[in-house]
């Protein structure tokens, strides 16, 4: 069976050797030595000043909204994973959707200002499949209207844009370390922010603690555990190999399918990409469903990232987003993971070409 992704698991003995440190200290949570070591490695590898490792990739979004004291409306994208929208709603704010660019698939920055009202407090945009938003334009809009900017960078580990980490843009950026990502801690995530916000974000993710007996303010428990951090530390030495192998797979897909009627994600210039997904856009939903069915009949399971368009979810009231709805109905992510063989990729390509 070939799935859309497969978790990279380092040798078990390497994971156990790292986890042994937690056994020796008896410190399994509450920001133990492994979490601190992981954060230090992340800061160095990503070249960022601040990082908070957390227990999943959704809590950083919710903590950012809470810590920035956002109220009212938050402008966001309809083309993302559900957590982007649900985090806004969960924190008592209203998502206001703006349609996406038909090629980059990120929020269309030229449509943001028209959606701003007196109730708007922030822009929460997603770097889709590791492809950055039009960051410069969004920054200008945010400054003009006094808005905060949060980037859902769940797919963007290791991405650099215009010479620096994608996590350095905006007031806050978040990332997922879910087991399906190229860097993972089994389940986990991280928050990156400007120095001015770091202490507040830290307190919010640790029950509001300011030392063992004092409280800075309101907080929840979003701390990463030592077993999670151990997994991240065990994966770390393989990062360059993982990314290099994913690039080989992406190149094989692209060169085999570029002369078909499929369309591909358009990447920004000045981008060092991480090869996290390989999405293809079909001419119609009918064509997608036909190809998907044949692939599944051959025990190959791609996935419809992201479907449906979030403005159509029942618990939000979104206007029609014609581009997002069209793309969501026609986009399919093909299998992509370390260990996927050239022969398996050839089989996937053959089935797609035969059924277009």
**Which of 198, 220, 237 is the C-terminal boundary of a domain?**
237
Pair (70, 219) in one structural domain = yes
d(CA 181, CA 178): 6
Say which range, 217-226, 258-267, 330-339, has the weakest mean pLDDT: 217-226
Number of structural domains in the chain: 2
Q: Are residues 267 and 186 in the same domain?
A: no
Same domain? 118 vs 73: yes
Residue 33 maps to which CATH number?
3.40.640.10
Mean pLDDT for the chain?
96
| Domain termination residue (choose one: 187, 216, 237) | 237
Q: Are residues 301 and 203 in the same domain?
A: no
Is the domain of 212 the same as that of 296? no
72 found inside a domain: yes
pLDDT tens digits, one per residue of 137-172: 999 999 999 999 999 999 999 999 999 999 999 999
Containing structural domain, residue 205: 10-237
Q: What is the CATH number of the domain that holds 350?
A: 3.90.1150.10
Report pLDDT digits (tens) over 111-136: 999 999 999 999 999 999 999 999 99
For residue 224, tell me if it sits in a domain.
Answer: yes
Sheet holding 172-176, edge to edge: 52-54, 189-193, 172-176, 148-152, 120-126, 73-76, 94-97
Query: Whose CA is closest to 292, among 346, 328, 332?
Result: 332
């Amino acid at each position: 069976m070939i799935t859309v992704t497969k978790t990279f698991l380092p040798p078990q003995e390497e994971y156990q050797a790292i986890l042994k440190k937690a056994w020796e200290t008896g410190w399994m949570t509450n920001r133990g030595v492994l979490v601190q070591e992981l954060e230090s490695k992340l800061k160095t590898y990503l070249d960022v000043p601040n990082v908070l490792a957390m227990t999943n990739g959704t809590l950083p979004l919710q903590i950012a909204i809470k810590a920035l004291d956002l109220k009212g409306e938050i402008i966001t994208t309809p083309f993302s994973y559900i957590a982007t929208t649900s985090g806004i709603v969960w924190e008592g704010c209203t998502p206001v959707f703006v349609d996406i660019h038909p090629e980059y698939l990120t929020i269309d920055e030229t449509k943001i200002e028209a959606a701003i009202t007196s109730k708007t407090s922030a822009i929460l945009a997603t770097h889709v499949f590791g492809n950055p938003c039009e960051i410069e334009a969004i920054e200008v809009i945010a400054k003009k209207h006094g808005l905060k900017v949060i980037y859902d960078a769940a797919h963007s580990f290791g991405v650099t844009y215009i010479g620096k980490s994608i996590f350095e843009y905006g007031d806050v950026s978040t990332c997922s370390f879910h087991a399906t990502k190229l860097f993972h801690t089994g389940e986990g995530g991280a928050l990156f922010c400007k120095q001015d916000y770091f202490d507040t974000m830290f307190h919010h993710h640790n029950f509001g603690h300011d030392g063992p007996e004092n409280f800075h303010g309101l907080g929840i428990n979003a701390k990463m555990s030592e077993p999670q951090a151990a997994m991240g530390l065990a994966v770390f030495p393989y990062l360059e190999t993982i990314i290099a192998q994913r690039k080989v797979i992406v190149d094989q897909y692209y060169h085999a399918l570029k002369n078909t009627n499929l369309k591909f994600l358009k990447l920004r210039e000045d981008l060092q990409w991480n090869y996290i997904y390989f999405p293809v856009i079909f001419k119609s939903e009918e064509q997608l469903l036909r190809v998907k069915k044949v692939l599944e009949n051959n025990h190959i399971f791609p996935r419809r990232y992201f479907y449906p368009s979030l403005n159509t979810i029942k618990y939000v009231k979104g206007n029609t987003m014609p581009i997002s709805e069209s793309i969501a109905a026609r986009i399919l992510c093909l299998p992509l993971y370390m260990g996927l063989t050239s022969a398996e990729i050839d089989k996937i390509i053959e089935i797609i070409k035969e059924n277009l």
